[in-house]
Chain A
Amino acid sequence: MSQLKRPIKELVSEVSSGRITAVSLVEQSLSEIDRNKDFHATLEINEDAIKFAQKIDDDVKNGKDVGSLAGIPFIAKDNFLTFGAKTTAGSNILNNFRAPYQSTAIEMLLKEGAILVAKANLDAFGHGSSTENSDFGPTKNPHDASKIPGGSSGGSAAAISLGMAAFSLATDTGGSIRQPAAMCGVVGLKPTYGLVSRYGVVAMGSSFDSIGVIAKTVEDSSLVLEHIAGKDVADGTTIERDEGSYANLSSSLKGQKFGLVKEFVGEGIDPEVKSAIIDVVERIKSQGGDVEEISIPTLDLALACYYVLIPAEISSNLARYDGVRYGHSSKEAKSLNDQFFLSRNEGFGDEAKRRIMIGTYVLSSGYYDAYYKKAQKVRTLLRKEFDGAFKKFDFLIGPTSPIKAWKLGEKSHDPLAMYLTDIDTVSVNLVGSPAISIPLKTDDLPIGLQLVGPQKSENKLLSTAQGLEAIL
């Protein structure tokens, strides 16, 4: 068995005490990456990984403090700015981009001795639900290579399922951590908006983007969150972290109130997914948990709301790619205007351009009130309904995705059909809540259970998730 399938806690203890070396863990990680390269989960390898592992091993020998994640190999979605490998965001427009600084989350992990081994494939700029929008080719599902791994963090999730690293750092704007985690059979944690700094992460929708973790277990995810959460002066939208540790989990389900969201198990759900969720409900009840159905009517509008606000924020964030300071610059351009128009058309893929234009439309004079402002108001309605639900329930539950992984190519020519698959996840980003996807045991393709809590409920959310993990 790959050492990387073992709990992070055990690995850290063995590395810190010199029983295993950080170098051996990194070598194992690199060999798994190479052995499984046909799944195309990763992009560039960090050329400095072994060097950093050697340094950890030397420090252990010399009795120095090596940090709480010493020697743990991890993978970062390629929208995190990092040294040692290019940062492409999965887009040709950043094909040769070498980050001039590193993201806060990466810096915090490196400070604890974790080792970045590779960058993970993604839908370009995080725009997609299948990783097929990567300009460098799709990632394949580890459970069935003819299927998509989910997205946009498909590479990050597939990598963990394949044992390429102990955890992945990823981003979730409308489900991009939870949905691929569900489809690849691993745990995906999206924290409260603002709990983890966005500094140095390629921006998608700035009022939605959350930084989180993909790992094998709830415990491993909590250990990583412990070291990346908190206020960062470089990101003014970060919030104070909770007192105490995220890594002290207690896992009782007794007396907890769960709301099974009616709209999450309604129309369009795969019957197999639905029956798996109903089975979970029975198990929770048998452990002393309380489950009742709840309706959140505005959920029917969540996708429409999301697909107005998100393109609007994208069109604004992607305006910075001008072919002047960094990124692709057209060789054909004769004038400055050409440089903008040609560089952007050549560098951006179809989906980025589609979203930029939709965003430009909903923000443009004459349409702003009817689309953008209207969607902002519907976002308020949804927040109120979630607030109401959390007065009655500790957590909301449902599937992470209404369907299992679909065939590569099946939806890639129908953008709207692809958007509709995000139905169970986007609402969480609209309200800023934390949520976690936990894999259910299946004989076939994986299914994820989604657990959603009120803002800043990470401590309780992770404990309850661990309780659920034990009975699934």
Chain B
Amino acid sequence: MPSINSEEIRRLAELANIGLSDDQVNAYAKEIDQIIGFVEKLGNVDTDSVEPTDQVTGLVDVWRDDEVKPGLDHDALKLNAPQWEDGHFKVRRVL
């Protein structure tokens, strides 16, 4: 497996929408390389005939009634919103 270098950290930060500085990139490269190195041992296990586990309690198709219920209170949402206008969250310009 390839080692985690600064270039890889930049790619991951971009995918994860995190704007890292160069110093942060270098520090993370070292630490994450070490952690990925630790989990590499999973590769030695024979799992050819093993099914993956997504969940542990075996529940299937959990349904609920489709009822109309009040949504979250706009005043409570407005209190937390960085920018709010006319009942909407406002964002920076896209174009």
Q: Is B50 a contact of A357 with CB atoms below 8 Å?
A: no
B14, chain A: closest CB distance, angstroms:
9
- Give the number of residues in B that approach A within 8 Å (Cβ atoms): 52
Contact (Cβ within 8 A) A357 B57:
no
Interface 1/0 per residue, B55-95 and A, CB below 8 Å: 11101001010000000110011011111000001011110
Please determine whether A373 and B52 come into contact, CB atoms closer than 8 angstroms: yes
Contact B55 A307 (CB under 8 A): no
Partner of B55, one of A237, A322, A348, A353: A237
* Cα separation A325 to B19 with both chains bound (whole Å): 19
Do B57 and A360 touch across chains, with their CB atoms under 8 A apart?
no
Given A304-B38, A345-B20, A373-B52; A357-B92 close (CB under 8 Å): no
- When the two chains form their complex, are residues A307 and B39 in contact, meaning their CB atoms are under 8 A apart? yes
Is A2 in contact with chain B by the CB < 8 A criterion? no
Tell me the smallest distance from the CB of B12 to a CB of chain A, in Å. 4
Contact of A360 among B12, B77, B94 (CB under 8 A): B12
Q: How far is the CA of A207 from the CA of B53 in the complex (A)?
A: 10
Instruction: Check if B57 sits within 8 Å of A455, measured CB to CB.
Output: yes
- Quick check: B34 and A416 within 8 Å, CB to CB? yes
Nearest-CB distance from B5 to chain A (Å)?
12
Q: Which of A51-59, A61-69, A333-341 lies at the binding interface?
A: A333-341
B94 and A336 within 8 A (CB): yes
- Measured between beta carbons, the chain A residues less than 8 angstroms from B15 are 360, 364
Contact across chains for A377 and B51 when beta carbons are under 8 A apart: yes
Contact of B41 among A193, A304, A364, A373 (CB under 8 A): A304
Please state if A360 and B16 are interface contacts (CB–CB under 8 Å): yes
Contact of A358 among B1, B36, B55 (CB under 8 A): B36
Contact partners of A345 in chain B: CB under 8 A = 18-20, 24
Chain B residues near A119: list those with CB within 8 A. Answer: none
Contact at A194–B59, with CB atoms within 8 Å?
A: yes
Contact B35 A339 (CB under 8 A): no
Taking a contact as CB atoms under 8 Å apart, the answer to whether A357 and B19 are in contact is no
**Which residues of the other chain, A, contact B64 by a CB distance below 8 angstroms?**
233, 236
A377 near B38 (CB under 8 angstroms)?
Answer: no
The answer to whether A354 and B32 have CB atoms under 8 Å apart is: yes
B59 adjacent to A237 (CB under 8 Å): yes
Q: How large is the interface on A (under 10, 10 to 19, 20 to 34, 35 or more residues)?
A: 35 or more
Contacts of B9 in A (CB 8 A): 357
Identify B38's interface contact among A194, A307, A353, CB under 8 A: A307
Q: Is the interface of A mostly helix, strand, loop or mixed?
A: helix
User: Do residues B57 and A323 form an inter-chain contact, with CB atoms below 8 A?
Assistant: no
In the complex, how many angstroms separate the beta carbon of A132 from the nearest chain B beta carbon? 16
Interchain CA distance A239-B57 in the complex, whole Å:
8
Which B residues are CB-close (under 8 A) to A295?
Answer: none
- Cβ of B1: which chain A residues have Cβ within 8 Å of it? 370
Q: Within 8 Å CB of A441, what residues of B?
A: none
Within 8 A of B (CB), among A101-146: 101
**How many Å from the CB of B9 to the closest CB on chain A?**
7
Flag whether A269 is at the interface (Cβ < 8 A): no
A460 part of interface (Cβ distance < 8 Å) = no
A345-361 residues at the B interface, CB under 8 angstroms = 345, 348, 353-354, 356-358, 360-361
Contact present for B89 and A324 (CB under 8 Å): yes
A344 to B41, CA, bound (A): 31
- For residue A323, which residues in chain B have a CB less than 8 angstroms away from its CB? 82
Cβ contact within 8 Å between A339 and B31: no
Of A152-160, A218-226, A276-284, A378-386, the stretch lying at the interface with chain B is: A378-386
Min CB gap B22→A, angstroms: 13
Known: A326-B81, A415-B35. 8 other contacts (CB 8 A): A98-B79, A315-B16, A335-B93, A336-B94, A353-B18, A353-B20, A364-B12, A416-B35
Shortest Cβ-Cβ A-B pairs, 4 listed: A432-B56, A341-B19, A376-B52, A329-B82
Which A positions have Cβ atoms within 8 angstroms of B? 96-98, 100-101, 192-194, 207, 233, 236-237, 239, 301, 303-305, 307-308, 315, 319, 322-327, 329, 333-336, 338-342, 344-345, 348, 353-354, 356-358, 360-361, 364, 370-371, 373-381, 383, 415-416, 419, 430-432, 455
